[in-house]
Amino acid sequence: MKWSEICVHTTNEAIEPISNILHETGASGVVIEDPIDLITEREDKFGELYELNKDEYPEEGVYIKAYLHINSFLGETVDEIKQAVNNLLLYDIDIGRNTITLTEINEEDWATSWKKYYKPVKISKKITIVPTWEDYKPKSPDEIVLELDPGMAFGTGTHPTTVLSIQGIERYIKENDEVIDVGCGSGVLSIASVLLGAGEVSAYDLDDIAVESTKLNAKLNKAEKKISAKQNNLLDNVNKQSDLIVSNILAEIIVRFIKEAWDNLKQDGLFITSGIIQAKKDLVKDQLQQNGFSIIEVNEMEDWVSIVAKKSESCRSTTYGLD
């Protein structure tokens, strides 16, 4: 199979809307190449570290790259992308140079070339994420190795949103907790939960590829007996009483199932959300509180936010004026 890499040379302001356009037109994966990353010093000791090639970055603006199947509809798809990007001008969004280029890429080349940048990364006090092709030995007795084969459909597990999620799970999970993972993707949060002591995990994703990826990675970590991965739309028709719900997806999606999250948590159960951009932090906090949750903590890394909320009947009574 062959893929076409579409590259949009634009501005930082346009990153979010253009990324959304690319996802909506069927792009499988989005890469942001921002020259600021070449000089940024990471404040947090956790996160992904690798050598960046400055020749792949623009001198000004950013590159947004995505990958599309080469088929008979590719031309129409690219035209739709160009039109949608141009339409951003109607909303006073600066799209900069707005030059769009296409490059053909063989699936085999794409599937293997990026692996040289993916190395073992310690993302929390206990957990180190290790790609399956790397030979890695734990540096201390309490270090937990989580093996991951992300394939082409998912990230490496070291994005700030995933790091924040796993750090939250590590802080709050208790032995034999029942966990629900909404939007499981590669299964990294489900596996981390098991490795940190969860008794069982119910993992859901609308994408059947994600479900299969979760099952595969669960087996790699000998966690398949405790993880049940199924195709499902968020928490639709789910009726469980769990100790912890984790979800690393977009803020707009999180607010759609907050009520269902409440219904599927035990009293004093926790809801760990991530994948939230700074601009949507208050939206998620407000919706959580309006549905009865109390905010335990808000954590940030780079431009991303994670919120830990607690199911509290007393808080809900106050919220709805029932006292």
What is the spatial distance between Cα 36 and Cα 236, in angstroms, rounded to a whole number?
41
Report the binding-site residues: 162, 183, 205, 248
Range picked from 77-91, 101-115, 156-170, 261-275 for highest mean pLDDT:
261-275
Range picked from 14-28, 88-102, 171-185 for highest mean pLDDT:
171-185
What are the domain boundaries of the chain?
2-114, 119-319
The token pair that represents 131 in the structure block: 């790609």
Count helices and strands (H / E) in the chain.
10, 14
Averaged pLDDT, 274-303? 94
The predicted structure's pLDDT at residue 68: 84
Q: Which phi and psi angles does 3 have, rounded to 5°? A: -125, 155
Residue 320: pLDDT band by 50, 70, 90 thresholds?
Answer: very low
The token pair that represents 147 in the structure block: 């093996």
What is the spatial distance between Cα 56 and Cα 50, in angstroms, rounded to a whole number?
14
Q: What is the SS3 assignment for 94?
A: coil
The predicted structure's pLDDT at residue 214: 93
**DSSP single-letter state for residue 145:** E
Q: What is the SS3 assignment for 63?
A: strand
More confident residue, 323 or 149: 149
The token pair that represents 21 in the structure block: 């356009």
CA torsion 16-21-26-27 (nearest 10°) is: -40
Which residues, 6+ apart, have CB-to-CB distance to 40 below 8 Å? none
The predicted structure's pLDDT at residue 72: 81
Q: Tell me which of 1.10.150.120, 3.40.50.300, 3.40.228.10, 3.30.70.260 is the CATH number of domain 2-114.
A: 3.30.70.260
Averaged pLDDT, 109-113? 60
Residue 49: pLDDT band by 50, 70, 90 thresholds?
Answer: very low
pLDDT tens digits along 198-221 = 999 999 999 888 899 899 999 999
What is the spatial distance between Cα 180 and Cα 239, in angstroms, rounded to a whole number?
11
316 class by beta-carbon count within 10 Å (0-12 exposed, 13-18 middle, 19+ buried):
middle
What is the spatial distance between Cα 169 and Cα 77, in angstroms, rounded to a whole number?
40
pLDDT tens digits along 55-93 = 666 778 898 988 888 888 888 899 999 999 999 999 889
User: What count of Cα atoms within 13 Å lies in the side-chain half-sphere of residue 136?
Assistant: 22
Work out the mean pLDDT of the chain and round it to a whole number.
86
Q: How many angstroms separate the Cα of 84 from the Cα of each of 18, 152, 262?
A: 8, 26, 37
- Residue 290 scores a pLDDT above 50: yes
Tell me the DSSP string of 213-252: HHHHHHHHTT-TTTEEEEE-STTTT----EEEEEEES-HH
The token pair that represents 20 in the structure block: 């959304």
Neighbours of 237 (CB within 10 A): 8
Q: Tell me which of 3.40.50.150, 3.30.2290.10, 3.30.70.20, 3.30.70.270 is the CATH number of domain 119-319.
A: 3.40.50.150
Q: What share of the chain is helix, strand, coil (3-state, %, to 5)?
A: 35, 30, 35
User: What count of Cα atoms within 13 Å lies in the side-chain half-sphere of residue 17?
Assistant: 20
Tell me the DSSP string of 2-16: EEEEEEEEE-GGGHH
Which residues, 6+ apart, have CB-to-CB distance to 127 below 8 Å? 143, 144, 145, 146, 166, 170, 192, 195, 196
User: Could you tell me whether strands 227-231 and 242-248 are parallel, antiparallel, or unpaired per DSSP bridges?
Assistant: unpaired
**DSSP single-letter state for residue 170:** H
Report the binding-site residues for S-adenosyl-L-methionine: 162, 183, 205, 248
Q: Which phi and psi angles does 176 have, rounded to 5°? A: 70, 20
